[in-house]
Amino acid sequence: MNLLHPITTPRALIRVVNASDAARVWRYRVANREHLAPWEPLRDASYFTVEHCIHTLAEMHRAVQQDRSYAMVALDLAGEEILASFTLANVMRGSFQACHLGYSVAAHWQGLGLMREVLGAALPWAFHALDLHRVMANYMPSNQRSGRLLEHLGFEREGYAKQYLQIAGRWEDHILTARLRTESA
Ligand SMILES: CC(C)(COP(=O)(O)OP(=O)(O)OC[C@H]1O[C@@H](n2cnc3c(N)ncnc32)[C@H](O)[C@@H]1OP(=O)(O)O)[C@@H](O)C(=O)NCCC(=O)NCCS
How many whole angstroms from 105 Cα to the centroid of ligand 1?
8
Q: Which residues pair with 83 in a beta bridge?
A: none
Residue 166 lies in a domain: no
How many whole angstroms from 137 Cα to the centroid of ligand 1?
15
What is 113-149 written as a DSSP string? THHHHHHHHHHHHHHHTS--SEEEEEE-TT-HHHHHH
pTM summary value: 0.96
Asked if 137 contacts 151 with a C-beta cutoff of 8 angstroms, the reply is: no
Residue 124 has φ and ψ, to the nearest 5°, of -60, -35
Q: Residue 134: what pLDDT?
A: 98
CATH value at residue 32: 3.40.630.30
Q: How many domains does the chain have?
A: 1
Q: Residue 4: what pLDDT?
A: 66
Residue 161 lies in a domain: no
Best probe residue, ligand 1, of 145, 146, 176 (max atoms within 8 Å of C-beta): 145
Residue nearest to atom 1 of ligand 1 (CA): 146
Task: Name the band, by pLDDT with cuts 50, 70 and 90, for residue 184.
Answer: confident
Quick one: DSSP state of residue 79? Answer: S
How many whole angstroms from 147 Cα to the centroid of ligand 1?
9
Residue nearest to atom 12 of ligand 1 (CA): 149
**Mean pLDDT value across residues 136-152:** 98
Residue 14 lies in a domain: yes
pLDDT, one tens digit per residue, over 155-169 is: 999 999 999 999 999
Number of the ligand 1 atom closest to the C-alpha atom of 112: 19
Amino acid letter for position 142: S
Residue 48 lies in a domain: yes
Q: Tell me which H or E stretch contains 90.
A: strand 82-92
CB-defined site of ligand 1, < 6 Å: 36, 39, 103-105, 110-116, 139, 143, 145-146, 148-149, 152
- What gap in Å lies between CA 87 and CA 16, rounded to an integer? 9
- What gap in Å lies between CA 168 and CA 94, rounded to an integer? 34
- What gap in Å lies between CA 139 and CA 62, rounded to an integer? 27
Best probe residue, ligand 1, of 34, 86, 117, 146 (max atoms within 8 Å of C-beta): 146
- What gap in Å lies between CA 171 and CA 174, rounded to an integer? 10
Residue 163 lies in a domain: no
Q: Is the pLDDT of residue 111 over 70?
A: yes
Residue 109 lies in a domain: yes
Asked if 13 contacts 117 with a C-beta cutoff of 8 angstroms, the reply is: no
Going by their DSSP bridges, the two strands 7-8 and 82-92 should be labelled as unpaired
Q: Give residue 20's domain range.
A: 7-135
How many whole angstroms from 121 Cα to the centroid of ligand 1?
15
Residue 184 lies in a domain: no
Contacts of 111 (CB under 8 A, 6+ apart): none
Q: Residue 53: what pLDDT?
A: 98
pLDDT, one tens digit per residue, over 28-76 is: 999 999 999 999 999 999 999 999 999 999 999 999 999 999 999 999 9
pLDDT, one tens digit per residue, over 4-32 is: 678 999 999 999 999 999 999 999 999 99
